[in-house]
């Protein structure tokens, strides 16, 4: 299990003073991906147009290039601005299978200053029921710490 306290401190130290969203996303994706064996694909989808997400920095195999807000787990997180904790992706209506190995997923909205939706953090696992509410709370706090003032 991830030591989120230590991981958050390391990410804060690495990102302190940086304001470039892509640089921040690249650093966070790398640190998260290598912090936990459950994390099979770790990355960001950025808001690039009205109700459109495009792939951003990530670690793992290829991801979907474009995801509309109306589709999939990432779209649901962007549309509702609420974390999506999905224990079984096969049971999620409209799930987009970017990778056939994904069994569970957590997607956290990334919200900056003035309530601006920057994108979503997407973490996939090849294990079913890999994520918990504790993961959701820790990741939400991390996204606020890193992106909340941008």
Partnered with residue 147 across adjacent β-strands are none
Q: What is the average per-residue pLDDT within 116-123?
A: 98
- Report how far residue 42's alpha carbon sits from residue 31's, in angstroms, rounded to the nearest whole number: 9
Task: Identify the bridge partners of residue 131 per DSSP, sorted by sequence position.
Answer: none
The pLDDT score that the predictor gives to residue 95 is 83
**Nearest partner of 147 among 120, 111, 122, judged by Cα:** 111
Domain around 14: 4-147
**What residue has token string 């936990």?**
36
Contact present, 123 and 36 (Cβ < 8 Å): no
Share of the chain above pLDDT 70, in %: 100
In the prediction, which pLDDT does 136 show?
A: 98
Domain count of the fold of the chain: 1
Residue 98 has pLDDT above 90, yes or no: no
- Give 13's contacts (C-beta < 8 A, 6+ positions apart): none
CA distance 32 to 107: 13
User: Which CATH number characterizes residue 72's domain?
Assistant: 3.30.450.40
Residues composing the chain: 150
Which pLDDT does position 21 carry in this prediction? 97
The three-state secondary structure class of 127 is coil
Closest CA to 78 of 58, 59, 54: 54
Average pLDDT over residues 70-87: 97
Please state the pTM of the whole predicted model.
Answer: 0.96
Do 139 and 28 touch, CB atoms closer than 8 A? no
């Amino acid at each position: 299990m991830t030591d989120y306290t230590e991981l958050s401190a390391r990410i804060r130290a690495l990102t302190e003073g940086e304001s470039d969203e892509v640089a921040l996303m690249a650093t966070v994706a790398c640190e998260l991906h290598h912090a936990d064996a459950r994390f099979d694909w770790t990355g960001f989808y950025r808001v690039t147009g009205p109700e459109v997400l495009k792939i951003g920095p990530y670690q793992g195999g290829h991801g979907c290039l474009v995801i509309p807000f109306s589709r999939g787990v990432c779209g649901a997180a962007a549309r509702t601005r609420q974390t999506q904790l999905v224990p079984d992706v096969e049971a999620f209506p409209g799930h987009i299978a970017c990778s056939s190995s994904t069994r569970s997923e957590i997607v956290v909205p990334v919200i900056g200053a003035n309530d601006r939706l920057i994108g979503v953090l997407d973490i996939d696992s090849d294990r079913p029921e890999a994520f918990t509410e504790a993961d959701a709370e820790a990741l939400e706090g991390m996204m606020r710490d890193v992106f909340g003032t941008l």
